[in-house]
Structure 1
Amino acid sequence: MRITIVGGGFAGVKTALELAKDSSFEILLITNKSDFQYYPSLYSTATGKSHLESWVPLGEIFANHDNVKVVIDTIIGVDTENKSLVGLSENRYDYETCIIAVGMVTTYFGI
């Protein structure tokens, strides 16, 4: 089964890792960033540690999962009739099952 996940945050990455345990799944993770950002450890940057401790390349996370492919793109359209997603790159991504896990954006109100 071909499963496409949109979003490379906690929900998208965890879902891909869990689904990857079943080798019958062909998983495509589409995200607009090449790194997974672990926000709970960002405080360490403020205490003098490297911000790189909070960022993990997605390729590293999925290195041992042959059935997961990561694509860097931004989805700008969904064609549910043809089960296809359209990226900002103008590429189309076909799917059998689509999981939207785009998360949220924190607003700091100018602070």
Structure 2
Amino acid sequence: MIERLIERLRAAGCVFAEDEAALLTEAAAGDAAALDELVERRVAGHPIEYLVGWAMFAGSGSPLPTACSSRGTAPNCSPLPPANYSTVDRRCSTCAVAPVRSA
């Protein structure tokens, strides 16, 4: 089963097919229908991070940003960083952003 999943992911262009197969299998938690849906979505081009709900960031798994963070705001936070800060986007398909203090 896992070998066919790896072959399917690789045929779809997934460079890390073995790792992605393991992540998708774990995310499906033994539910064959859920695994089929996750694989279909991955083959269709959905980012693996969105399908499993987390991304590796700075050496640890991090939850993906919410709609609030994608707008640059979060509850109880200013929508813009203070004047002496800039926003940095790591450009790693996870929308991870961080305020960085300017010199």
TM-score by length of 2: 0.23
Whose helix fraction is larger, Structure 1's or Structure 2's? 2
Q: TM (normalized to structure 1)?
A: 0.22
Structure number, greater radius of gyration: 2
User: Higher strand fraction: Structure 1 or Structure 2?
Assistant: 1
